[in-house]
Structure 1
């Protein structure tokens, strides 16, 4: 499963993304608002994302292992802990607001044992 969070690059024109080798399972095709696009990969190989003819801002990209579909346990799982690490793997803290500007790794642990890890940039506070 690949989740891509986007926002149109034009406040007056709805825009979105499409994918090759992946099927949209959630999220509007186009919108003026932030879209959380969820895609299931169809087959091993490359997945390519394309805009529908205009610019979009990519806010976040998350790739979740070899999950083939979402199940009820994944959807209803609650976050047990969120921790932030610098790119060297050192603990940077547990409070997002206290992090300085920079690149971080976020590790989210759920009550069903699942762990989601993603890299992100934190802008100026």
Structure 2
């Protein structure tokens, strides 16, 4: 009997199938990790820009508040006396409360989430389960 060199490829066994499954799972995990890292890098860049803009706007707001308050106190001191200080304090407390409330709403609506990564992970979970 002659042994032919062109034999039909055998179907992979259990070990071959498990090996293929592990390779595919690792590729899937690596691709999701790369996506998450790309999104985190993008989010980091946005946070840095946001922090710089926020710091500059806070500085400008402090100057505006200081000069505006000094002007109001100077103009209204004769008419209201110390009461103008109390009125301004109440106004600033209300403004601060509204700003904190707006910032908390932004955080709660998921602005800092990773939407593409989370959607892909959910799709992967749904496919596997």
Normalised by the length of structure 2, the TM-score is 0.17
From the two aligned structures, give the one with the greater strand fraction: 1
- Considering only CA atoms, is the larger Rg found in Structure 1 or Structure 2? 2
Q: TM-score w.r.t. structure 1 length? A: 0.17
Higher-helix-fraction structure: 2
